């Protein structure tokens, strides 16, 4: 028995040829993860930028960022809002997934950097845990790939791997550290 090498995108058909692999449970599961993480992040971005979903809007979000030591607050609120909105929407639909995941990872690392780590298992610890879970979810999607039910379905990073995960992690961390350095 010969083991396949590389990515397997087709299965052996009954006549010995190849047939497309049907959408499976993994595709559906990753779609659910992408939608959950991506739409939560996009919603938070829309709250900051436009005041949607009972959000503060850009001016109030900017004041909140200033109170946390991010000056000028409106600029940092806009950067965070755009990263959450575009990264989240990209993740949700599976478009440019490694870059979308990088935006999500970056903004969540910055959120973790200002969150008090009191006790991870208490209600106060959720200020750190919540962005950590979203960042790990986004990075997981980059590692596994957006799979077949995505706009990236025809691109090489559809099936994830070390390179897309590395791109998401490195670009996300670099972006986060640049923003933290400018703070």
pLDDT tens track for 75-125:
999 999 999 999 999 999 999 999 999 999 999 999 999 887 666 666 766
The predicted structure's pLDDT at residue 3 = 39
**Average pLDDT score over residue span 151-167:** 95
Residue 137 pLDDT more than 80?
A: yes
Residue 163 pLDDT more than 90?
A: yes
Give the predicted TM-score (pTM) of the model. 0.85
Residue 155 pLDDT more than 50?
A: yes
Residue 13 pLDDT more than 90?
A: no
The predicted structure's pLDDT at residue 19 = 58
Burial 41-60 (b: 16+ CB within 10 A, else e): bbbbbbbbbeeeeebeebeb
Tokens of 173: 């961390």
DSSP string covering 85-104, please? HHHHHHHHHTSSHHHHHHHH
Beta-sheet pairing, 10-12 with 18-20: antiparallel
Residue 171 pLDDT more than 50?
A: yes
Whole-number percent of the chain with pLDDT over 70: 84
Q: What is the CA radius of gyration of the chain?
A: 19
The owner of tokens 């809007």 is 57
Residue 18 pLDDT more than 80?
A: no
The predicted structure's pLDDT at residue 151 = 97
76/71 Cα distance (integer angstroms): 7
Residue-wise pLDDT tens digits, 38-72? 999 999 999 999 999 999 999 999 999 999 999 99
The continuous run of DSSP H or E covering 29 comes out as helix 25-50
């Amino acid at each position: 028995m010969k083991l396949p090498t590389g990515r397997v995108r087709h299965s052996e058909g009954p006549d010995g040829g190849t047939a497309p692999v049907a959408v499976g449970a993994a595709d559906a599961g990753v779609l659910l993860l992408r939608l959950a993480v991506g739409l939560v992040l996009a919603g938070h971005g829309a709250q900051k930028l436009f005041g949607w979903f009972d959000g503060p809007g850009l001016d109030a979000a900017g004041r909140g960022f200033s109170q946390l030591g991010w000056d000028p607050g409106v600029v940092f609120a806009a950067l965070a809002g755009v990263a959450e909105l575009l990264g989240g929407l990209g993740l949700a639909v599976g478009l440019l997934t490694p870059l979308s995941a990088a935006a999500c990872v970056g903004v969540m690392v910055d959120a973790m950097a200002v969150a008090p780590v009191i006790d991870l298992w208490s209600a106060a610890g959720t200020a750190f845990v919540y962005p950590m879970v979203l960042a790990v979810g986004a990075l997981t999607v980059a590692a596994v790939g957006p799979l077949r039910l995505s706009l990236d379905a025809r691109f090489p990073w559809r099936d994830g791997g070390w390179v897309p995960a590395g791109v998401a992690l490195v670009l996300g961390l670099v972006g986060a550290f640049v923003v933290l350095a400018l703070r």
